[in-house]
Amino acid sequence: MRGIVCYKLMIKKCKKCGKTIIAKGNLNHCLDCRKRKCIICGKEFCITHLQVKTKCCSRQCSAKAKSKIKGKNHFNWKGGRFVDKDGYIQIYMPKHPFHNSRNYIKEHRFIIEQIIGRYLTNKEIVHHINGIVTDNRPENLYLFSNRNQHQLHHRLINKNQISKITQSNLNQEKLTPSK
């Protein structure tokens, strides 16, 4: 035979409104203070002491809420920045025309766009000079107009025909008139 769990009834004061209540266990609020309105369906429901942060009346409404709430209002919001599987920093930009399906863009592309004052095309490649893809300082970023130029740069470095791009090289390139 199972043991019977018995809670002692206690006279307490509601922590929100101060009403005197007869409560068992860890319940610290009166019935009126435990009533909430579901943010999805609008139905009134009563929470337990374990559901202090609950905003939905059921699991179905909770699932709908999680799919509807995005960005800063989402419960799992971490500031709109994360490092993706390739090591690049992604930032939340829902109004950017080239955002991905989750409304994020790569931070290094955004920084170059701010510097040159326009959106980058899909063909343009942003190169990290020091090779560290999380180092998105403007002086560490170099813009190639297409993939072929970027690959050529890497091939020439591998054959030691040119030195790596450095700030002094970039300054000389800017000063030297193109032929």
Which structure tokens are listed for 47? 């929470």
**CATH match of 81-169 with 3.90.75:** yes
**Residue the block writes with tokens 């989750």:** 102
Q: Is 92 left (phi over 0), alpha (psi -120 to 50) or beta?
A: beta
- Least Cα distance to 106 among 122, 116, 117 occurs for 122
Average pLDDT, the chain: 81
- Full DSSP string of 114-144: HHHTSPPPTT-EEEETTS-TT---GGGEEEE
pLDDT tops 70 at residue 6: no
pLDDT digits (tens, 9 = 90+) for 82-119: 999 999 999 999 999 999 998 999 999 999 999 999 99
Which structure tokens are listed for 30? 């009166």
What does the pLDDT average to over 43-72? 78
Q: For position 17, what pLDDT does the model report?
A: 84
| Domain boundaries defined on the chain | 10-56, 81-169
Instruction: Report the alpha-carbon distance of residue 46 to residue 38 in Å, rounded.
Output: 10
How would residue 81 be classed by pLDDT, with cut points 50, 70 and 90?
A: very high
Q: For position 1, what pLDDT does the model report?
A: 45
